[in-house]
Structure 1
Amino acid sequence: MKNMKKVVLALCATVGLGGCGDLTVPDLNNPSIESFQETPTRTAVLNAATGLLIGTRAGMTNQNGYVALLGVLGREGIVLDSADPRYIGEMLQGSALNAGSPAFGGNFWNAPYANIRNANTLLNALEKVDGVSEAEKSAIRGFAKTIQALDFLVIVNTHDTNGAPIDVNRPFGSELAPIVSKDEVLAHIAQLLDEAKTDLQGGGTAFPFPLSKGFTNFELGPDGKPFDMTVRNFIKVNRALKARVDVYREHWDETLADLEQSFITTSPVSLNLNLGVYHSFSAGSGDVKNTLNGPNIFANPILLADADKQLDGQNDARVLRKVKAAKNPGELPGVITKFSLAFKQYEADDSPIPIIRNEELILLRAEAHIRLEQYEAAMEDLNLIRTYSGNVAAIPEVLTGEGATNELLKQRRYSLLFEGGHRWIDMRRYGKLEELHREDPEGMQFNVHLRFPIPNTEMDARQ
């Protein structure tokens, strides 16, 4: 890609990732990127692996980032910033997203591709580095390919049928990789995850580099304290991500098979719906804060109206956990509705953002069962989510067909609310985006955007 020619390996920032002091990444531009590529050292390689976590969280927490903007498109929330009318004029009122706007229509392209290139540079360096064992190299390869899969998912989730380049491990200045279809991008992601699994299986027990605190609470030791992510457990994370991709590809039997190898659990003894891995942030010097608690981000009031009720008459417990009264309500000219709700789950500067967690895995399994017409199994999972996560009554009858699908989409709407654009992606997957019009603020009907355009700079480079 044209802009990639200007990107310097983004593993050079000194960052305390997620507030953990041992995750400082030294300046790899000293002495040079060229030396990292040609004569890599063990220290540089391990720092580069940790740096991939910094790259893959880029743009997640911004007001114009992945969670917020996809939340706007999916009618989960709205951004009211008097200093920037594009949040309304382009994201909601415009007939199309502007491919020349790097922070809006042209978003979610350069940053993930920069991190994909970082991973490729690291993978290439593994062929030349000394002082790193074969098992350690295998663990690093599996980790890097899994992170690449996450970055490609951001690209394809936002650009959908516009497609994207995948053959991007090319030297600067070489011919641009062709843009391929959405199906080919998803197939490439699945292949990356499968290759990563094979690499991880030969990767020993422990990663030779530190991970962020978003990966450390995955499993408790005998003393009840969390210990670092093992390679074995990261394989389970890899399979969880593969199950999400399987669902996007509508490979239902494969979804169930990959979920069996993931960290999914429904044991009533130790059921933890939040078990998973997360992007981590902190207010520490040099690190990135989670800014999704900003004063311009509001929750859609229809979330309360559409929610089921608990036995005591309160709203679904997920709404109570994730939505709160805004400190300063927002207004939109010409719209009757006052925006008086904000999101609650990111109140602190170091609040983590889920990458994938157990609650989503249970819903992925329910979706696969529905599409395989295994409705009783699907309802068991959906009722588990209703009762454990929402604290609302189970549905006594077995829903089938469209009824089961609508119930699935409702549970995904509230369980995965404002976590990563799931609502917009789901409604698009099921051809229901136009139904989002009923969730527009009273007094105004917004447009429903299908996908982000490929940035003008990219298309200009291709003439």
Structure 2
Amino acid sequence: MTRRMIGMRRPLALLAVLSATAAGACGDLTVPDYNNPAVDEFVNNPTPGAVRAAATGLQIGARLGLTDRTGYVAMLGVVGRESYIIDSSDPRYVSELLQGPLSNSGAFGAGMWTPRYANIRGANLLLAALENAEGFTPAEMEAIRGWAKTFQALDFLLVINTRDVNGAPIAVEGDVNAPAPFVGKAAVFQHIVALLEQGRTHLQAGGASFPFSIGRGLSGFDTPQTFLQLNRALRARVAVYMGDYAGAVTLFPQTFLNTAGELDAGAYHTYASSEGQGNDLANEFNYARPALVTDAETQAGSTALDRRVLQKIGPHPSPRSQQGVSSDKAFLMYPDASADLPLIDNEELILLRAEARWFTGNKAGAMADLNLIRAEAGGLAPIAGVPATDAAFVDLLLKERKYSLMFEGHRWIDARRFGRLDTLGRDVSTHVIVPRWAIPESECLARGLPSPCDLGA
């Protein structure tokens, strides 16, 4: 069994994260109360302990809002036609996400925003505090800066993944009473690139170790130089998302990509109810869309389904139907509240490289990568020959990504970036395909703008 199986204007909300520390024999992260020290005190007179706690807190903040009932993976799973949330007490999981329209207020249409900007602001406060911090060597301070900017880049990426051409604010390090303006998708991606490149430079000067505790999800990336491989892996993902395939090809050797290694080797978000943050993807209302099973191939020389399907989908103990959708399938990857969620792993990197290789002319290399995933992850026969067109290759690529990265928050993004949202399917003719989330109404009103205030509308 693989490892896969097992707000911007409210700085005080960050204090719990700023006071986070690592504890426990397994390196799990907990968030004790440090009596809520003032933000100004932290920035202007930071103690070494407060700086260390704030740095550790960024790893905690990065996982928040990802596995909640209305979190990133659950919401993108529904609109990406991977999952259903069938809960008779709250029909909005179908009526808004599948039937539409999404409201730009409330937990559905306005979600997946505050946790990201909370963590971004936490990193900004940490970076500001470093200017006044004592008790750290120059190398240690560089290591902290590289760590903070890498997490900021990840959070901005999750924001723009959901908002797409609606854009997002990026200049959020200033006065919280003067909300930053929205900028377009391209500007957000350039900001993400800049943060990752700055993080790379800091990490290269970061010495041999981080001066703070790191949770077990980043085991193997717990020094500045090994964390640099994670920074480069995220940079490669961003390059692929931007269509910078030539740039991506140069990045993969700097990552932890390893075709001879375990496919699930990588970085993970970890959860535990005892730490106040469990993985809620294990809840009884999450259902796998049956088409994931019926569309699957069979293993080479066998009638057994794709190994990824057998490992990730099983019978649900309580089949349900609601408003025209039904399922008797459950996801197995998140069996309980302590299940890990991949941040990025070797399997995703190989698939990203397959895409980059194809679109830079290395078609044999691209097919070698796809066939490796098919064989090692799915137990499937190799694809014979080379697709005749780019579109035919994308068909194959998206199918492998669909099963390798199932219910991790990728399929909807993949369909949109290839202009294939309409291929996701509709279970009822009146269902809609959500192209992107709106800017939250509260953010529009805080800037004196009408609501909605989406740039891409």
1:124 corresponds to which letter in structure 2? A
Secondary structure (helix, strand or coil) at the match of 2:97 reads coil
1:11·1:27 contact (CA, 8 Å) conserved in 2? no
1:212 to 215, 218, 222: 215
Secondary structure (helix, strand or coil) at the match of 2:142 reads helix
Separation in 1, partners of 2:31, 2:134: 20
Separation in 1, partners of 2:17, 2:39: 10
Separation in 1, partners of 2:109, 2:382: 41
Q: Which residue of 1 aligns with 2:281?
A: 292
1:389 corresponds to which letter in structure 2? A
1:12·1:25 contact (CA, 8 Å) conserved in 2? no
Question: How far does residue 330 in structure 1 lie from its aligned partner after superposition?
Answer: 1.2
Question: How far does residue 327 in structure 1 lie from its aligned partner after superposition?
Answer: 1.0
2:170 corresponds to which letter in structure 1? I
In the alignment, is residue 65 of structure 1 matched against residue 71 of structure 2?
A: yes
1:26·1:47 contact (CA, 8 Å) conserved in 2? no
Question: How far does residue 287 in structure 1 lie from its aligned partner after superposition?
Answer: 2.7
1:135·1:203 contact (CA, 8 Å) conserved in 2? yes
5+ residue gaps in structure 2?
1-6, 449-457
Q: Which residue of 1 aligns with 2:359?
A: 371
1:240·1:263 contact (CA, 8 Å) conserved in 2? yes
In the alignment, is residue 122 of structure 1 matched against residue 122 of structure 2?
A: no
Separation in 1, partners of 2:276, 2:179: 33
1:11·1:28 contact (CA, 8 Å) conserved in 2? no
2:82 corresponds to which letter in structure 1? E
Secondary structure (helix, strand or coil) at the match of 2:424 reads helix
1:321 to 311, 314, 321: 311
Question: How far does residue 4 in structure 1 lie from its aligned partner after superposition?
Answer: 3.3
2:199 to 196, 200, 207: 196
In the alignment, is residue 156 of structure 1 matched against residue 160 of structure 2?
A: yes
Q: Which residue of 1 aligns with 2:372?
A: 384
Secondary structure (helix, strand or coil) at the match of 1:389 reads helix
2:43·2:125 contact (CA, 8 Å) conserved in 1? yes
1:4·1:110 contact (CA, 8 Å) conserved in 2? no
Question: Aligned pair in 2 of structure 1 residues 451, 169: CA closer, same or farther (>3 Å)?
Answer: same
1:409 corresponds to which letter in structure 2? L
Separation in 1, partners of 2:336, 2:19: 24
Question: Aligned pair in 2 of structure 1 residues 17, 55: CA closer, same or farther (>3 Å)?
Answer: farther
Secondary structure (helix, strand or coil) at the match of 2:322 reads coil
Q: Which residue of 2 aligns with 1:446?
A: 431
Question: How far does residue 427 in structure 1 lie from its aligned partner after superposition?
Answer: 0.4
TM-score, normalised via structure 2 length? 0.92
2:395 to 406, 413, 425: 406
Secondary structure (helix, strand or coil) at the match of 1:11 reads helix
Correspondence list, 1:15-414, <5 A: 20=26, 23-94=29-100, 96-101=101-106, 103-173=107-177, 175-216=178-219, 218=220, 229-267=222-260, 271-284=261-274, 286-310=275-299, 311-333=301-323, 335=324, 338-400=326-388, 401-414=390-403
1:281·1:351 contact (CA, 8 Å) conserved in 2? yes
2:417 to 429, 440, 448: 429
2:16·2:36 contact (CA, 8 Å) conserved in 1? no
Secondary structure (helix, strand or coil) at the match of 1:341 reads strand
1:340 corresponds to which letter in structure 2? D
CA displacement, residues 201-248 of structure 1 (integer Å, 9 cap, x when unaligned)? 0111111111111111x3xxxxxxxxx722211111100000000011
1:436 corresponds to which letter in structure 2? L
Separation in 1, partners of 2:23, 2:331: 24
Separation in 2, partners of 1:159, 1:72: 16
1:208 corresponds to which letter in structure 2? P
1:240·1:259 contact (CA, 8 Å) conserved in 2? yes
2:278·2:337 contact (CA, 8 Å) conserved in 1? yes
Question: Aligned pair in 2 of structure 1 residues 256, 28: CA closer, same or farther (>3 Å)?
Answer: farther
1:289 corresponds to which letter in structure 2? G
**Number of equivalenced pairs:** 440
1:79 corresponds to which letter in structure 2? I
Separation in 1, partners of 2:164, 2:349: 22
* RMSD after superposition: 1.8
Separation in 1, partners of 2:8, 2:347: 39
Question: How far does residue 373 in structure 1 lie from its aligned partner after superposition?
Answer: 2.9
Question: How far does residue 365 in structure 1 lie from its aligned partner after superposition?
Answer: 0.6
5+ residue gaps in structure 1?
219-227
Separation in 1, partners of 2:8, 2:137: 36
Q: Which residue of 1 aligns with 2:454?
A: none
Question: Aligned pair in 2 of structure 1 residues 31, 152: CA closer, same or farther (>3 Å)?
Answer: closer
Separation in 2, partners of 1:253, 1:242: 13
Question: How far does residue 332 in structure 1 lie from its aligned partner after superposition?
Answer: 1.6
Question: Aligned pair in 2 of structure 1 residues 261, 161: CA closer, same or farther (>3 Å)?
Answer: same
1:435 corresponds to which letter in structure 2? T
1:207·1:230 contact (CA, 8 Å) conserved in 2? yes
